[in-house]
Amino acid sequence: MRIGIDARTACHPKTGDRTYTLGLIRGLEAVTRGSSHEFVLYVDTAPPAALDLPDGERWRVRVLEALHPRLWTLSTLPREARRDRVDLLHVQYNGPRLRDPVLVTTVHDVTFRLHPESFSLKDRLLLDWGLRSTLSVAAEVLAVSECTALDIERTYGVERDRITVTYNALPPGFAAPEPEAVPPVLARHGIDFPYALFVGVLQPRKNVARIVRAFCSARQRADLPHRLAIAGKRGWLSAEIDAAISEAGDAIRLLGYVPDEDLPALYAGADAFLFPTLYEGFGIPVLEAFACGTPVVTSNVSALPEVAGDAALLVKPTSLEEISSAIEAALCDDALRERLRRRGLERVRRFDWRQTAELTLQAYERAVTRR
């Protein structure tokens, strides 16, 4: 089978979509060695050499240019996929409306439908239109969690037997740092021990304003010396977040965008990772914190209980009091912290890109057979 993959996200700044693309490619490379499968990776800019995308007899990387991203998706990509005679084209979310080649799409979440307040009207309409169109022709739909699979089924009426759950895993190359590697990274970002950590885009769905206020409440109640380090670029609709950070004063250390290579040290140095967001299709940062042995406070909704299991403190994300109490416990109870650390290190081993790739290949084969 000749398989085309829309790999654009691999060439752009870190997101969950990028982690998925790179992880899947690495997994497919590993599980198809010795097979007759061929792969064409389509990108819209030359990939950085550091990505080390597979290249060789069974793997090709094609750079396709277009005047606009929507033209790339709806015109350039399908034209070149047909020219390359691929049997199947794999996209994320939105793809061209076509049945030849067979289309498979991965959906990470449908937040724009479930939490419309987090998006502008224009973005909601475009995302909904694009995904609805793609789902109507996709032979197979891949969801990154059982939660997302159920959301797709309920929201768009996609038959459950057309949806396959293929979990995410740690970003390729992500590993806990040696203890001596942590202080230099913290110094570079102006962070002192002790601290708690949040990682994510500053936008409403990430619940940042409530996290900041809950942290400050726990800090004052327990007389904690900790500050909260916030790593992530500024997103949209951030006025409430800005107000909460301003009110918190020197309790907050705003880091902005942090390079991938610095994140393991930030996780490893933190006394707790705070991630009680309003909705996640998966929640890769939870796995990153687990891998670094950092206790996690996260939400009891969406896919987060599915990912965290019993290895994190689960809270109602709309309850400031629940979040605050969990933060206090995670920072003050040494026995609890050690228990969470051990469980997290065990839990993260359950998620593996090879298994994701094997399930994805099975979905590819079903899609081609179905057509």
**Does pLDDT of 235 surpass 80?**
no
In angstroms, the CA 184 to CA 366 distance is: 50
Q: Where in the chain is the domain with CATH 3.40.50.2000?
A: 2-169+352-370, 179-350
Backbone angles phi, psi at 6, to 5 degrees: -70, 105
Q: Amino acid identity of 25?
A: I
pLDDT tens figures, 160-219: 999 999 999 999 999 999 999 999 999 999 999 999 999 998 988 999 999 999 999 999
Output the pLDDT for position 239: 83
Of 165, 20, 16, 56, whose CA–CA distance to 7 is shortest?
A: 20
114 close to 279: Cβ distance less than 8 angstroms: yes
**Which tens digits make up the pLDDT trace of 286-314?**
999 999 999 999 999 999 999 999 999 99
pTM of the model: 0.95
The domain over range 179-350 is classified in CATH as 3.50.50.60: no
Domain 2-169+352-370 has CATH 3.40.50.2000: yes
Q: What is the DSSP track for 6-64?
A: E-GGGGSS--HHHHHHHHHHHHHHHHTTTS--EEEEEESSPPPGGG----SSSEEEEE-
CA–CA gap between residue 270 and residue 301 (Å, rounded) = 24
Please report which confidence band the pLDDT of residue 14 belongs to, taking 50, 70 and 90 as the band edges. Answer: low
